[in-house]
Amino acid sequence: RAAGHRTETEVNAFFDAIAIELAKLPRGTKVVTVADWRACPLLSDEVSESLLTKMTGNNPLIELSAAIASADSPIQVLQFQRLVRDTHYAHRKLFFNPPELMAWLKPALNEQEFQRLGEFLAEYKAH
């Protein structure tokens, strides 16, 4: 969702959709995930805690997880850094620069996945 998560219901729906896709994979498969938080508003405490719980719950399924945020809002940056840190998962990182994010994920992606990552990151339009 381009506008981010504004309610706990939206967080639950998003992670329910992820669970449906993950269930299609062979058991034990680990995935690479990317979230674009550049248009995400400051999250309420309720939404932030729900997101943290869901992200942490997915740790065993994640090979690498990257999020990209805009450095323009210091309060949001602190919130996103806390989310990433509090998942206690070393293979999850926050980035502010698409090329750095892409370089970090590249070893875990095939050529088609890497191309799609570039397309995904290019979809963001700054306001």
Residue 60: CB atoms within 10 Å:
9
Q: What is the pLDDT of residues 39-76, one digit of tens each?
A: 888 999 999 999 999 999 999 999 999 999 999 989 99
Q: For strands 92-95 and 62-68, give the pairing.
A: parallel
Contacts of 95 (CB under 8 A, 6+ apart): 66, 67, 68, 69, 101, 104
- The SS3 call for residue 85 is helix
pLDDT at 31 over 60: yes
Write down the mean pLDDT value for the chain.
93
Q: Residue 27, exposed/middle/buried by CB under 10 A (0-12, 13-18, 19+)?
A: exposed
pTM: 0.89
Q: What is the pLDDT of residues 73-99, one digit of tens each?
A: 899 999 999 999 999 999 999 999 999
* Residue 4: per-residue pLDDT: 62
Q: At 113, is the pLDDT very low, low, confident or very high (cuts 50, 70, 90)?
A: very high
Number of Cα atoms under 13 Å in the Cβ half of residue 6: 5
